[in-house]
Amino acid sequence: MDLAFSPDEAAFALEARSWLAEHLVRPPAFADLDAEIAWGRAWQAELAAGRWVGLWWPEAYGGRGADPVQVAIFNMEYARAGAPQPVNRVGINLAGPTLLAHGTEAQKARWLPSILDASEIWCQLFSEPDAGSDLAALATRATPVDGGWRLSGQKVWTSYAQAARWGICLARTDADAPKHRGISYLVVDMQAPGIDVRPLRQITGETEFNEVFLDEVFVPDDHLVGGLHQGWAVANTTLAHERGTNFPFKEQVVHEVFLDELYRAAAASGRLDDVAVADDLADAWVRLRLLRLHNFRTLSRLGRGEEPGPESSWVKLAWTDMTQHLSSTALDVVGPSAPLWGPWERQWLWSQAASIAGGTSEIQRTIIAERLLGLPRG
């Protein structure tokens, strides 16, 4: 099997690498989330001006019509350059692809350009206190009124809601239908009256997540994406992109860079002489190789024009195990001499979210058992 990139793909990688080398400025230390978001907007606008955002989107909507291999190459180059995650990632990775697949022409024209340059930030209003893994159990209700709906309920875990202009929201529009069939997919104006965003402090001390309370929020008719009560099918597009194709390539490279740094730190401090630490570093290397092989398999499928399919659950699980193992190893490498609070401690705390975000590890194992291994339903 030939895992090398073609000459055209290598040239594309070089173009991306050169652009990043010329334009990327290291983010400063931010005083607060507002400062971080302002910086992130400016950086994403610059990326968009270079046409490096939404690469696979059709040219008519600001993309390059890039193929999946080019997208993966760009994500790897982006990570290798140490570039920060784009601030409007919910817009780029979730809302945009969903609008491209299910939106009307007017919706695409209205919302897609401002996703790419981050002039309007998006959030995802899916999870609720009693609807996470079982998302279809959601209770937020949209009641029809003149010209649209009134939306009431509570969402939770909503990343970047405090900065968002728009939210993709699942709401129940038919309370009598079976739970998957009475849901609609709405775009909510996050500045509308009746919205109360309350930041939640996380274990890292940051407040990226929020609770969002919706009290009779008006949503106009033309903010319905897909058909009335067809929201579950539309949400599946969003979820396929969330678990899907972009993040594992970037994460693979981000962690390869982490591992290099850790190895050098262990060698410099003498920690590499500790057999347990050396074993853990070797184990992290093996897990990263496994993730890389899963990624190449995904890429082969995408290159053949196939969907990532349930195999994306293997990738998610391999990434989770790898990032949690590597982050624990990092704490062993830096050891008790580490400052009380440094980048590795933050990395370890963040890695705890890996087995929850985008579908928990238990749910991934169930998908693997039922859909890949053909085991009986649990």
Ligand X SMILES: Cc1cc2nc3c(=O)[nH]c(=O)nc-3n(C[C@H](O)[C@H](O)[C@H](O)COP(=O)(O)OP(=O)(O)OC[C@H]3O[C@@H](n4cnc5c(N)ncnc54)[C@H](O)[C@@H]3O)c2cc1C
Binding site for ligand X (CB under 6 A): 123-124, 126-127, 132-133, 157-159, 353, 356-357, 359-360, 362-363, 366
List b or e across 309-332, with b for residues whose CB sees 16 or more CB atoms inside 10 angstroms.
Answer: eebbbbbbbbbbbbbbbbbebbee
Tell me how far, at minimum, the Cβ of 351 lies from ligand X, in Å: 11
Shortest-Cβ-distance residue relative to ligand X: 132
**Closer to ligand X by Cβ: residue 278 or 356:** 356
Tell me how far, at minimum, the Cβ of 368 lies from ligand X, in Å: 13
Residue 305 phi, psi (nearest 5): 85, 15
Tell me how far, at minimum, the Cβ of 354 lies from ligand X, in Å: 8
**Closer to ligand X by Cβ: residue 12 or 247:** 247
d(C-alpha 323, C-alpha 327), whole Å: 6
25-33: long-range pairs with CB below 8 Å, 24+? 26/82, 27/84, 33/162, 33/163, 33/206, 33/207, 33/208
Angle, helix 312-334 to helix 275-303, in steps of 10 degrees: 160
The catalytically annotated residue of 242, 251, 256, 311 is 242
Tell me how far, at minimum, the Cβ of 169 lies from ligand X, in Å: 9
Helix (H, G, I), strand (E, B) or coil at 130: coil
Residues 6+ apart with CB under 8 A from 55: 63, 64, 66, 70, 71, 74
Measured CA distances, 300 to 3, 249, 291, 296 (Å): 10, 13, 14, 6
**Closer to ligand X by Cβ: residue 58 or 129:** 129
**Closer to ligand X by Cβ: residue 24 or 363:** 363
**Closer to ligand X by Cβ: residue 63 or 91:** 91
Question: Is position 242 annotated as part of the catalytic site?
Answer: yes
d(C-alpha 17, C-alpha 30), whole Å: 26
How does DSSP classify residue 191? T
Tell me how far, at minimum, the Cβ of 121 lies from ligand X, in Å: 12
d(C-alpha 55, C-alpha 246), whole Å: 11
Residues annotated as catalytic (active site), given as ranges = 242
